[in-house]
Chains A and B, each alone.
Chain A
Amino acid sequence: MNDASPTLPIFQVSQFGARLRVIPTLPAAVLLALCLLGFLAPLIAPHSPMQGSLGEKLRPPAWVTGGQWAYPLGTDLLGRDILSRLLYGARTSLAVAAVAVVVAGTLGTILGLLSGYFGGVVDAIIMRFTDIALSLPLILVAIVLAAAIGTSFGNVILVIVLLLWPRYARQVRGETLSIKERDFVALARIANCSHFRIIWRHIFPSVLPTLLVLVTLQAGYIVLLESTLSFLGVGIPPSTPAWGLMISEGRTVMDSAWWVVLWPGLAILLMVLSGNLLGDWLRDRLDPTLKQV
């Protein structure tokens, strides 16, 4: 990675802009903290995320009159501790995002590599499929699926994977097209490497930075999409601790209990914002040619 050397003036916006660019340590820290909190939820959550006591229902945050430090951020309509549900909710969001990215990324990368490397008919067929997949109205597909077979984790992940894989395929194909013209690939071919070996050992590593940028840029988007689907009642099945669902369940009592809706929204904002900032920064660092669409 020569182009990431410190002597290269990558950011020459302005002083204020340059200072803005230093922030990514903060988003990175926030994201890491959210991952850790989600991962450790069973250990650190003060209450069960599923069971509440109706006697404690709609308790305000601790610092508001009527609040208790036993429930720092208050309780919801069923008397469940909001902080605990938020922690478990981080888990849900991260799990969905991780599975979706791994499946979509693997599928998209393999197809993109094949398409770019072999070209010709293979390329034509794969790219036709990506074009079609890119122009499917997926939020509608999600709604039909939910209406027909009900909500489940599998459906949410399926919809997100359907939405994401063509983006990976396109990007990776583009990269592969230029990489395969480079000398080291030609040398590998002269050295009688198999197609598989050339793709896996010579081309794939060069595509990795782009992939990394794409994954980070999309992580926030996935969390947003998942929470929107859940809010609409076509995502994560009810009663699971998920941020979008918490907001959807809380909206009926919103005018008397603002905290039920406020905290999960802030949690989503925090996670998506730090993901987006990190992604923007990584893109500028690793791959300035990759324009955000």
Chain B
Amino acid sequence: MLRFIVGRAMQSLVCFVVVSCLVFYAARLTGDPTVLLLSEMASKEDAARLRAHLGLDKPILVQYGLFLKQAIRGDLGESTRLHRPVLAVLAARFPASLQLGSVAFIITLLIALPIGVYSAAKRGTVLDNAGRVFAVLGQSLPLFWLGLILMLVFAVWLGLLPAAGRGTAANFILPAVTMGWATTPAVMRLTRSAMLEVLESEYVKMARIKGLPEWKVIWKHALKNALLPVVTFSVLLFAEMIAGAIVTETVFAWPGVGQLLISSVYYRDFPMVQGTVLLLSALFILGNLTVDVLYAYLDPRIRYGR
């Protein structure tokens, strides 16, 4: 187990190094910062002095080391648009993203689990097929478009719900449904197949032979075991959730990290983009690592060989 964790952690580390190199290198692609910072009157000597001051005259590897050192200390630079430290802006925005993400996740589970279980229990019925059609449809819908259409129908035409902003509970409905939509079909499919597998097992047959009512067999005995892969997989949806958050927050002008990222790209606020991407990547990689380790702990087959 320890060997697995160490190996997997090394892989995560390499992953983070790759991402941070990319972010660092991309910053260099945007051009020489001294050109932007100095006036046209500045002499060559001034430019050289500024380069030395910013550390731009050092070898690229040393520069990368400094960049990492600063990033780990929490110094991600200053936003060129908001003129505030990147970390402070991120800290202010993060709770909004976390809230929306949690609500969306709960919605996913509330929709996907019952339908998935029901589909498996009543396999082959009209409802099962409807559920599967819904899943295929769900995976084919562009999320951003769904968000806009929901907004058009419920906010603009019917005037039932607010279109944008954050504050009341009603503000959560449209964005959370949109974001939850991204992950619902996958969880639903997985629940269905996990339940189908469990329903075939001996102990479920035993429970039926004992004369337990069918609802108890399905919702208590079978679901308990089917939940394990579903829950672990749900956490694995982290990547989808980050992408979903970026899209949803952009559509609904939700004041979170995702919307911040896209607007920073728009305004060419590179330090902000850099900091946000570093933070989200670190979260993403850590999340993946946690799930993998958890999975290996629960299922020894993963630990030994692939």
* Interface residues in chain A, defined as those with a beta carbon under 8 Å from any beta carbon in chain B: 13-14, 16-17, 20, 128, 131-132, 135-137, 139-141, 143-149, 220, 224, 227-228, 231-234, 244, 247-248, 251, 254-255, 258, 261-262, 264-265, 268-269, 272-273, 275-277, 280, 292
A132's contact among B18, B125, B137, by CB below 8 Å, is which? B18
Question: Least Cβ distance of B114 to chain A in Å?
Answer: 21
Interface residue stretch chosen among B26-34, B93-101, B166-174 = B26-34
Size class of B's contact patch? 35 or more
Inter-subunit contact B14/A132 (CB<8 Å)? yes
With A132-B14, A137-B239, A147-B264 in contact, is A276–B136 under 8 Å at CB? yes
- Among B53-61, B102-110, B216-224, B243-251, the one that faces the other chain is B243-251
Known A20-B129, A139-B242, A224-B142; judge A144-B12 contact (CB<8 A). Answer: no
Instruction: Indicate whether A261 sits within 8 Å of B142 (C-beta atoms), given known contacts A143-B273, A147-B268.
Output: no
Which residues does B use to contact A, with CB under 8 Å? Answer: 11-12, 14-15, 18-19, 22-23, 26-27, 29-30, 124-126, 129, 133, 136-137, 139-145, 148-149, 151-152, 156, 189, 239, 242-243, 246-247, 250-251, 261-262, 264-266, 268, 270, 273-274, 277, 280-281, 284-285, 288
Closest to A139 in B: B243
**Prevailing SS type, chain B contact patch:** helix
Query: How far is A32 from B119 in the complex, measured between Cα atoms in Å?
Result: 32
Can you add 18 more A-B contacts, CB < 8 Å, to A14-B124, A141-B22, A232-B246? Answer: A132-B15, A132-B18, A135-B12, A137-B19, A137-B280, A137-B285, A141-B19, A143-B246, A144-B273, A228-B243, A232-B144, A233-B262, A234-B262, A234-B265, A255-B152, A261-B145, A269-B140, A269-B141
- Find chain A residues with CB under 8 A from B277 CB: 140, 143-144
**Contact of A148 with B137 at beta-carbon distance under 8 Å, contacts A16-B129, A135-B12, A233-B262 already known:** no
CA–CA, A73 and B242, complex, Å: 34
What's the Cα separation between A275 and B143 when bound, in Å? Answer: 17
Report chain B residues within 8 Å CB of A146.
265
Q: Which residues of B contact A16 (CB under 8 A)?
A: 124, 126, 129
Q: Which residues of B contact A272 (CB under 8 A)?
A: 140-142
User: Smallest CB-CB separation from A148: which chain B residue?
Assistant: B26
Whether B266 and A261, one on each chain, are in contact in the complex, defined by CB atoms closer than 8 angstroms, is no
Contact check: which of A135, A228, A269 meets B285 at CB < 8 Å? A135
Q: Are B142 and A232 in contact (CB under 8 A)?
A: no
* B11 close to A131 (CB less than 8 A): yes
Q: B19 contacts A136, CB within 8 Å?
A: yes
A134 to chain B, nearest CB (A): 9
B152 & A277 in contact (Cβ 8 Å cutoff): no
A265 near B262 with CB under 8 A, answer no
Q: How far is the CB of A152 from chain B (nearest CB, A)?
A: 13
Residues of B with C-beta under 8 A to A269:
140-142, 145
Shortest distance from the beta carbon of B129 to any chain A beta carbon, whole Å: 6
Cβ-closest chain A residue relative to B272: A147
Q: Considering the chains assembled together, what is the distance between the CA atoms of A220 and B137 in angstroms? A: 12
* Complex Cα gap A140–B145 (Å): 20
- B231 → A minimal CB distance (Å): 17
- A264 to B136: give the CA distance in the assembly, Å: 19
Q: Given that A16-B129, A141-B22, A144-B273 are known contacts, is A261 also in contact with B140, CB under 8 Å in the complex?
A: no
Partner of A265, one of B149, B189, B288: B149
Task: Considering the complex, give the chain A residue whose CB is closest to the CB of B156.
Answer: A255
A232 touches B250 (CB 8 A): yes
A251-B148, A265-B148 given; A273·B137 CB < 8 A: yes
